Structure 1
Amino acid sequence: MKINNFVPDSKIFDSIKFKDDLENEENVSFLDTLKEKLNEVNEKQIKAEDLTESFIKGEDVDIHDVMLQTEEAKMSLELAVQVRNKIVEAYQEITRMQL
C-alpha cells in the first residue's frame, strides 16, 4: 500500500512566530501581559453585561448573541481564575524553597 507524501500548507506556518521574530520584538514583562489579558476579560464582561441590558430593555438584540457573549465572558473569567490559582500556587512553591 502506497501512502502519498504529506505536503503541509505553508499558510499555516505564516502566523507562527519563530525564534528570530520573537527576539526582534520588544521585551514584554509578564506583568504587562497579565494586565492586558485581564483587561480583555474585563471588556468581555462589560460587553456581555451591556448586551444583556439591551436585551432586557427590549432592544433588537438576538438571544443567541446574548447567550454567546455571556458564555464567552464566563469562560474567560474561569480561565483567568485558573491562571490566578496557578500563579498563587507557583508563588507558594517558591516561598517554600530552602536556599
Structure 2
Amino acid sequence: MKTQVLNPFIPLQWQQPAAAAPETKAAEGFAGTLHKALGEVNQLQVNADEAAQKLAMGEAEDIHQVMIAMEQAKMAMQLTVQVRNKVVEAYQEVSRMQL
C-alpha cells in the first residue's frame, strides 16, 4: 500500500489523491466545496485557539505542537483571503466586460 504525504499547511480537502472520482467532485458543486473548505479553515482556527488556551493554562505538553497548530491556522487563513481576493477580482473583471 502506498502512503500519501500530506502538507500540514494546506487544508485536507485540497490534498485529495489524484485517483478521486471526478463525478463526486462534480456532484457536490462549487458551493459545497467552498463550504467544506471554509469549515476546515474554521476548524484549524478553533484548534489553534484551544492549543493556545492550553498553553496559557500550562496544560500543553509540547509547545511545538501549539506553534504548528497556530501556523496551520495562519496559513489557511492567508490562503483563504487570497482566494477570496482572486474571486472578487475575477467578478469585477467580468462585470466590466462589455457585451
Q: TM-score range by the shorter chain?
A: 0.7 to 0.9
Q: Which runs of 4+ in 1 moved over 3 A?
A: none
Per-residue CA distance 1:13-47 (angstroms, 9 max, x = gap): xx4237xx314x35221111111101100000000
Aligned pairs for 1:4-83 (under 5 A) are: 15-17=17-19, 21-23=21-23, 25=24, 27-83=27-83
Gaps of 5+ in 1: 1-10
When normalised by structure 1's length, the TM-score is 0.76
Greater relative CO, 1 or 2 (CA 8 Å, sep 6+): 2
Cross-structure match for 1:84: 84
Measured on the aligned residues, the alpha-carbon RMSD in Å equals: 1.8
The Cα shift of 1:95 comes to 0.4
Q: Secondary structure at the match of 2:61?
A: coil
Number of positions where the alignment pairs a residue of Structure 1 with one of Structure 2: 84
CA distance in 2 between partners of 1:52 and 1:60 (Å): 8
CA distance in 2 between partners of 1:52 and 1:70 (Å): 8
Q: Taking structure 1 as reference, are residues 75 and 89 closer, same or farther at Cα in structure 2, changes over 3 Å only?
A: same
Q: Is the 8 A contact 2:51 2:60 kept in 1?
A: no
The Cα shift of 1:61 comes to 2.5
